[in-house]
Chain A
């Protein structure tokens, strides 16, 4: 069973700062997804990456999939209070297999 680790567990920054959060595993993923969850709501999909080395951008968010497909990072440029939330990564070892979720990074962006 794959185990996903996310770091840091908690992160509190000021508005305008840049940050990077990480998702790591000893397993190779066929695909990996990132979600953001706000209090009292379910997670919302941000991106899916499937190719080693792949980089995807979503406005101020940049997602990178490691070359070996064992890790991923999420970089936020000029963070805003609206970025506050729990960021979850989810990976699947084999195509068609259910995704396993990491424990998340809780981000707080202070105005």
Chain B
């Protein structure tokens, strides 16, 4: 049981480049999330999904887009990367409203 798998684990982008972060879960969870983690600021919610085909904005959605075409996958896109998007990105899923989050191991993104 792999849980939540994120790819890639590391990436360096130049300002203005685009990329997609991939997240896959094998637990049949309905809810999926993308967070970014920056020093001293905790985890901040970028976008989330409450089911296949649905997405919603979180606390810091600007500069990001997401898609959830299949229940097990949640994709995070950066259209035009900026240095302010340098961060560690975590994908998470959970079964229900009071359930705990299961997190992936993160993607460390550096934008130069």
The answer to whether A and B come from one shared complex is: yes
**Interface residues, chain A, CB within 8 Å of chain B?**
1, 4, 9, 31, 33, 35, 40-45, 48, 50, 88, 90, 95-96, 98-104
In angstroms, Cα B100 to Cα A50, docked, is 12
Q: Mark B73-102, 1 if CB is under 8 A from A, else 0.
A: 000000000000000001010000110111
Contact of A95 among B35, B45, B59, B98 (CB under 8 A): B98
A43, A48, A96, A103: which has the most chain B beta carbons within 10 Å? A43
Q: Mark B58-71, 1 if CB is under 8 A from A, else 0.
A: 11000000000000
Number of residue pairs A-B, CB distance < 8 angstroms: 53
Contact A101 B105 (CB under 8 A): no
CB under 8 Å from chain A, chain B span 26-41 = 33, 35, 40-41
List, in ascending order, chain B residues with CB within 8 A of A103's CB.
40-42
- Total interface residues on B, CB under 8 Å, equals 23
Contact of B43 among A40, A50, A88, A96 (CB under 8 A): A88
Contact A45 B101 (CB under 8 A): yes
Nearest-Cβ distance from residue B79 to partner chain A, whole angstroms: 24
Contact A42 B90 (CB under 8 A): yes
Contact A98 B105 (CB under 8 A): no
Given contacts A98-B48, A98-B58, contact A43 B43 (CB under 8 A): yes
List, in ascending order, chain A residues with CB within 8 A of B45's CB.
98, 100
Given contacts A43-B103, A44-B103, contact A101 B42 (CB under 8 A): yes
In angstroms, Cα B43 to Cα A104, docked, is 9
List, in ascending order, chain B residues with CB within 8 A of A102's CB.
42
Nearest-Cβ distance from residue A87 to partner chain B, whole angstroms: 11
In angstroms, Cα B97 to Cα A104, docked, is 22
Nearest-Cβ distance from residue A47 to partner chain B, whole angstroms: 9
Which of chain A's residues has its CB closest to B35's CB? A101
Contact of A40 among B4, B100, B102, B105 (CB under 8 A): B105
* Other contacts beyond A35-B100, A40-B106, A101-B42: 6, CB < 8 A: A40-B105, A42-B104, A45-B100, A98-B58, A100-B59, A104-B42
